[in-house]
Structure 1
Amino acid sequence: MPTLADLTKTPNKLAALYSHAAVGARIMLTGHIHQAMPDCAGDAYQAHWDCLNRYGEERFEQEFEIADRVRAGFAELIHAAPERIALASSVHDLFIRFLSAMPLATRPRIVTTDAEYPSIARQLARLAEAGVEVVSVAANPASTLVERLAAQINDKTAALCVSSVNFETGHQTLELDTLMPLCEARGVALFVDAYHSVNVLSFSVEDYNLQGAFVVAGGAKYCQMGSGIAFMHVPEGADFRPVITGWFGGFDPVVDNPAATPLAYADGAARFHGSSIDMLPVFRADRVFDFFRAQNLTPEFLDDVHHHQLELLANTFKRNDFDPAVIKLSTSVEYMGGFLSFDSPHAQALSEMMRDRGVHTDYRRHWLRMGPAPYLCDEQLTDAIHALEESVHELQG
């Protein structure tokens, strides 16, 4: 089991366990989009093939057992009960099921920000076209976002949708823990996109006072599971009846009549389950959860690792004394989530120049973004800033 010191050295002790992704040979600072999967995730492909093809219709028992283990794994990450976790292939799938449970006929108002992830932002934009009142609050500055969101809640508001970390800038939503009581007082459902918090920050529904909130995240980024697997924490209390409902949303999808009326819903988060999906991502998730446990890669340890990596990137950047008119840090590391963002009018050009030097970054509008991962060593991170310095010099001619 690695220590923080093991991960700072060259080579990083974890890197050998990601040999297929060649993480030691490339500087991949796009971990906020996709972190490499450990080699053991490849075992899931054969296991899934055997389950699907060898066992035929008898595969369901095995699939349900693995899905239960994955639900328990996600529940452990956010300190929740497994029965409060619904699975789907994407956050969008879960979001539309959430929306379909909202009383939009009597409360036709949704409050959100102008920096939600596209799968949520696009859906809300379409609802606005269809006549739902969607109030979009400026996400910046993050320090006052919660206060400004709360001011938009009224008795016509069905839901408030916000991210724990701004997916464009990486800035944390401060005082997020104060939102749930405000929503509960007005009968408003709180939906939190925590994709950029889970398994990179010490994030739990308890610490953020979100036991009564819908909280979503998934496997494509910091969980290292790849695409096709997402989860939603469903709060206790209300008798939710999502209009978008699949046959897994009943009590026993194998035995019960899924269309018997009045429509019956399963207990807990299961009422938000969908229908048959490709189970390969779930098999991968199961293997990766086992890997993280074996390596003792807990959320708390990964939080320490990522803070060390962000601090190293930021301090190396500061020592280079870059011209702030060309590029500057967008905020202090303590207010960042899992990646750093740099404010630059040349973000796209710099990202492309750094890629030419073997350093993978990305950009959103005028933000150059660097997202490290636990399998990168300190030398790779300092080399990345040196590549940025060379790129800036090239830019300035």
Structure 2
Amino acid sequence: MSYQYLFARALAANRQRLHFAAHSHHLWPDASYDGHMEAWDDAARMADRKWDRIFGEVLPEAQRHVASELSLPDPATIAFAPNTHDLLVRIVSALPMAKPHILASDGEFHSFRRQAMRWAEAGRITLETVPLAELAERAARGGFDLLFASQIQFNTGARLGDIDQFAALAGPHGPWVVIDGYHGFMAQPTDLSGVADRLFYLSGGYKYAMAGEGVCFLHAPPGYALRPEITGWFADFDSLEAQLGGVGYAPDGLRFLGSTFDPAGLYRFNGVRRMLAAESLDTPVISRYCDGLMDAFAAARPLPGMEALPRAPRFIAFRGPDAQKWQERLSAKGIVIDRRADVLRIGFGLYQDFEDVQRLVKACR
């Protein structure tokens, strides 16, 4: 079985390339092209009035897709932004204390790591980081205002584990629990129905949602972070406070919106989700397909001298001193994988088939 027909444009754009970095820049399916063109057509046809359709139809559809994927009870808790960094900054800006104490794992992605380190340098926050394996124990001891952790760590694929145990610590007055789900969303089934009222969840379209940049989202639990200090004018539509001349906020997830943005990512995301539904491709089905590709690659043991780390959804990480050499030699053959220091990451997606895996194994050998 091959699903490459869904990615005809991206594959035809570079027929010599063998792309095994689906965990990074996932290739875009043809449906995303159609969505992108729909955004252009709407802008040409409606001009300024396009925002009526975006807020009346396009954004609500995207909210419903996210809520369906995560089993969220209310799509209105979803806000969108060009990147997760924007949303992180707004969450932290809503914390009421002068110098919040933030706990995180020591393997977080740069969108959190860099900003948190700079805040700590400036005295804006107190930052404590611990290995992922120690995070639950440290979190349970308390003493922090916000807990930040990745559902799947970007560098090694290590898994957070039971999200419920972290959500159980959360409360509207603190601590707030923020889960970075970028390597989990649409990579593995995720059910937040039981914790939707207690934790924040961040993700976006760049990876397994196959929709590219500019369509990141936040699920914000009701009653938490009601007035982000970092805010934009889209966050106060029709609020009573704004009508009275104050700084008002939407009562739902839209309180985290910023200002004018490029809506094309929303159109692409909706187009991809419609395509997946039409093809009967949900996350469990896609995961089983990609697991088969990963099994075939792992069984060949094609990277001697490299240690295979515990498998993540959709990518396998290998650690060893020759990681850079492996990447360089495969790149010279037109094969795209990526590396984080001494860790190689090889990612799998719908646009690959078993013939591609065989080509990769042959190239490694």
- Tell me the TM-score normalised to structure 2 length: 0.92
Cα separation, 1, equivalents of 2:225 and 2:105: 27
Indicate yes or no: 2:32 matched with 1:46. no
Instruction: Confirm or deny that 1:92 pairs with 2:85.
Output: yes
8 A Cα contact 2:140 2:169, kept in partner: no
Query: Is the Cα–Cα contact under 8 Å of residues 95 and 225 in structure 2 kept in the other structure?
Result: no
1:161 aligned residue (134, 148, 152)? 148
Q: Which residue of structure 2 aligns with residue 30 of structure 1?
A: 21
Change (3 A) 1:211 1:145: farther
Question: Which amino acid in 2 is paired with 1:99?
Answer: V
- Shift of residue 258, structure 1, vs aligned partner: 4.5
Task: Say if 2:356 is the partner of 1:380.
Answer: yes
Does residue 339 (structure 1) correspond to residue 315 (structure 2)? The answer is yes
Query: For residues 135-184 of structure 1, what are the alpha-carbon distances to aligned partners after superposition, in whole Å with 9 as ceiling and x for unaligned?
Result: 01123xxxx24334425631xx2200100001001121223331111234
Contact 1:249 1:266 in 2 (8 A): yes
Distance 2:111 2:357 in 1: 31
Give unpaired runs (5+ residues) of structure 2. Answer: none
Distance in 1 (CA, whole Å) between partners of 2:327 and 2:356 is: 16
Question: Where does 1:281-296 land on structure 2 (aligned, <5 Å)?
Answer: 281-296=265-280
Unaligned runs of 5+ residues in structure 1 are 1-5, 7-11, 391-397
Match among 203, 208, 216 for residue 230 of structure 1? 216
Residue 214 of structure 1, CA deviation: 0.5
Partner amino acid for 1:328?
Answer: E
How many residue pairs are counted as aligned between the two chains? 360
Is 2:150–2:160's contact at 8 Å kept on the other side of the alignment?
yes
Deviation string, structure 1 residues 178-204 (Cα, Å, up to 9, x no partner): 111123498300000000001111112
Partner of 1:175: 162
Conserved 8 A contact 1:95-1:120:
yes
8 Å CA contact retained: 1:31, 1:222: yes
Matches of 1:185 and 1:286, distance apart in 2: 32
Q: Partners of 1:62 and 1:212 in 2: how far apart? A: 31
Change (3 A) 1:304 1:56: same
What pairs with 1:312-351 in structure 2 (closer than 5 Å)? 312-317=296-301, 323=304, 326-331=305-310, 333=311, 336-351=312-327
**RMSD of aligned C-alpha atoms?**
2.2
TM-score w.r.t. the length of structure 1 is 0.85
Alignment check: 8 A CA contact 1:112 1:149 kept:
no
Structure 1 contact 200–306 (Cα < 8 Å) conserved: no
SS of corresponding position for 2:265: helix
Q: CA distance change for structure 1 residues 184 and 303 in 2, over 3 Å: closer, same or farther? A: farther
The equivalent of 1:200 in structure 2 is: 187
Paired with 2:116 and 2:188, the residues of 1 have a C-alpha distance of 27
Q: Which amino acid aligns with 1:330?
A: L
Pair 211,302 (structure 1): closer, same or farther in 2 beyond 3 Å: farther
SS of residue matched to 1:123? helix
- For residue 128 of structure 1, give the secondary structure of its aligned residue in structure 2: helix
Letter in 2 for 1:120: F
AA aligned to 1:100 is: S
| More deviation, 296-305/78-87 | 296-305
Instruction: Give the equivalent residue in structure 1 for 2:332.
Output: 356
Match for residue 3 of structure 1?
A: none
Q: Is the 8 A contact 2:100 2:146 kept in 1?
A: no
Contact 1:110–1:133 under 8 Å retained in 2:
yes
Q: Which amino acid aligns with 1:329?
A: A
| Amino acid in structure 1 at the alignment position of 2:177 | L
Structure 1 window deviating more from structure 2 (222-231 vs 284-293): it is 284-293
SS at match of 1:217: strand
Q: Give me the identity figure in percent.
A: 28
Contact 1:251 1:267 in 2 (8 A): no
Q: Secondary structure at the match of 2:108?
A: coil
Q: Paired residue for 1:247?
A: 233
Partners of 2:94 and 2:225 within 8 A in 1: no
> Compared with structure 1, are the counterparts of its residues 246 and 258 closer, same or farther at alpha carbon in structure 2 (3 Å cutoff)?
farther
Kindly provide the amino acid, as one letter, of the partner of residue 76 in structure 1: S
CA distance in 2, matches of 1:192, 1:385: 35
- Provide the rounded CA distance (Å) in 2 between the counterparts of 1:172 and 1:40: 31
Q: Residue 247 of structure 2 aligns to a residue in which SS? A: coil
* In 2, Cα distance between equivalents of 1:50 and 1:307: 38
